Structures are given as C-alpha cells and as structure tokens.
Chain A
Amino acid sequence: MLDYADLTAILPHRHPILQVDRVLEVEPGRRVVATKAVSGSEPCFAGLADGLPQSAYAYPASLIVESLGQAGAVLWLLTARAAGETTEGTLVFGAARDFEFLGAAYPGDVMRHEVVVESLKTNSAVMRGETWVGDRRIAVVGSMLAVARPDTELAAGPTG
C-alpha cells in the first residue's frame, strides 16, 4: 500500500490538485487500485450558497477524470521505476474516450479507481478504468492516453 506521502514522491501534483489519497494495490505494468476520499471541505465546494440540493455537492466530473487519470499516472510511473527506467519530462493527459458517468460521489464518499494498462511505451501509455463508490460504479473510461513530453517542448508552446 502507498500512502499520501509516498504519492507525493511519485506524482508531481500537489495540494489541492493531487487527487489520489492512497494506493491499495499495484501490479506494475498491469493494474492499480487507488482511492480518493471526497470531503465537504474540498476547494470545489467553497462558497456555495446555502439551501442547495444534495446534487450541488456531487464531486465534479472533471475532477473524477483527473483523479482517475492520476491513478493511471501512478501506475505508469511505478511501472517505469520497476523496470529501472525514468520517465523524462512532464506527463500530459492526451485524450480520454468512451467516458461514461453512471453515478456521483458526494462528501463522505471514498472513490476507488481501478485502472488497467492497455499499452505502455517509453513515452506514451494507454489505459482504461472504472471508478467505484462502495459497490456503485460511478464512472467508466474506455481509453485514456497519456504522454511524456520534454519540458523544453512544452515551454515552447504547441507545435501542431
């Protein structure tokens, strides 16, 4: 199991955008199971008006995608590390396809992401995954692409 402190040594993300709290299981090159607890004190819920319905406190889909993607990034980086490789540059979320939201996560829920590798190369990774809250599956992604890009290339701006 990897705790929050371990994750800060793997992912470049930091508070408040580090969206994975704990890794429960990891098989490098194959799969990862990671959790993120949603709380009412998340920055995304700050400043909401009183009297809103519960639906206003559904964790935003964009952050579910980010959290699931970060679980995938942990898997990729640990796989590279296990193989004695280093991933140069910055990881970039390239594309997500066939994303389906089937439910929601609310303050008090713990999201559990299960991410499986489709293909891994030195500079790119394709994965698929699911997000669960207890026995409810709340999101499914058919394919997520991440790439590692040299920092110099990113600083130079888009090249097409």
Chain B
Amino acid sequence: MTQVMSNRMNELREVVAEVLEVEPEEITETSHFIDDHDADSLRAIEILARLEKMYKIEIPQTELPKMENLRAVYDVVKQYAGWQD
C-alpha cells in the first residue's frame, strides 16, 4: 500500500470510527460494520453523508449495501472521488 493510500485509509477509518462510536484501531480493513461493530442502516447512511461532505462527492444510496467494511468504503469513495490508487 502506498503512503497516499494508507493516509486515505486512515482518514476513512477516523470517519467510520466516529460514527460507529468505536476506537479507530478496532476497525480493520475487513471487519464487518454490522456484524463486528453493531452498525445499522442509519449509521451506514451517516457514514455515507459524512464522506460526501468531506470529499465533496456524491455517492448514490444504491452503493450503501456494498459499504460493509473499510476496504469496501475505500473502493466506493475511490470510484466517486476519482482517486487513481
């Protein structure tokens, strides 16, 4: 993972941790928001709204079911923010 990628991943981890009210280090790239961190559909919408504001992007709500862990969130944001890596 490049430095840029890892910085972005940590930025996303902070957002997710804040919404899910857990410590950032508890969230790994593959820990499941619902099964491992007690998230629900409302929290997922909050995460999406925050990401949109932070990166000034628009993510369709149809992407929500995909965003089940940090890795998946990264991929979705990458797509809509046009990140190269």
CB within 8 Å of B: which A66-114 residues: 94-95
Chain A residues with CB under 8 A of B52:
119
Question: Range of interface residues on chain B?
Answer: 10 to 19
A123 to B40, CA, bound (A): 16
User: What CA separation (Å) do A99 and B49 show in the bound complex?
Assistant: 18
**18 further A-B pairs in the complex, CB-CB below 8 A; given A95-B42, A95-B46, A160-B34:** A94-B42, A94-B46, A118-B53, A119-B52, A119-B53, A124-B45, A126-B46, A126-B49, A126-B53, A143-B46, A143-B49, A145-B42, A145-B46, A147-B41, A147-B42, A159-B41, A160-B40, A160-B41
In the assembled complex, the Cα of A94 lies from the Cα of B43 at a distance in Å of: 8
Is B6 on the interface with A (CB-CB < 8 A)?
no
* B61 at the binding interface (Cβ < 8 Å): yes
Of the candidates B34, B40, B46, the one having the most CB atoms from chain A within 10 angstroms of its own CB is: B46
Binding site for A on B (CB under 8 A): 34, 40-43, 45-46, 49, 52-53, 61
| Cross-interface CB contact of B45 among A94, A118, A160, cutoff 8 Å | A94
- Say how far B80's CB is from chain A's closest CB, in angstroms: 14
What distance in Å separates the Cβ of B35 from its nearest Cβ neighbour in chain A? 10
Which label, helix, strand, loop or mixed, suits the secondary structure of the B interface? Answer: helix
Bound form: Cα–Cα A119–B55 in Å: 13
B42 lies within 8 A of A122 (CB):
no
Question: Which residues of A are at the interface with B, using a C-beta cutoff of 8 A?
Answer: 94-95, 118-119, 121-124, 126, 143, 145, 147, 159-160
- Whether A124 touches B49, Cβ cut-off 8 Å, given contacts A94-B42, A95-B42, A147-B42, is yes
- List the 4 shortest-distance A-B pairs measured between CB atoms, nearest first: A94-B42, A126-B49, A124-B45, A119-B49
Contact A145 B53 (CB under 8 A): no
Contact in complex: B40, A121 (CB < 8 Å)? no
Q: Are A122 and B46 within 8 A (Cβ)?
A: no
10 A–B pairs (Cβ distance < 8 Å), ordered by A? A94-B45, A95-B42, A119-B53, A122-B61, A126-B49, A145-B42, A145-B45, A147-B42, A147-B45, A160-B34
Residues of A within 8 A of B41 (CB): 147, 159-160
Instruction: Find chain A residues with CB under 8 A from B40 CB.
Output: 160
A144 to B66, CA, bound (A): 24
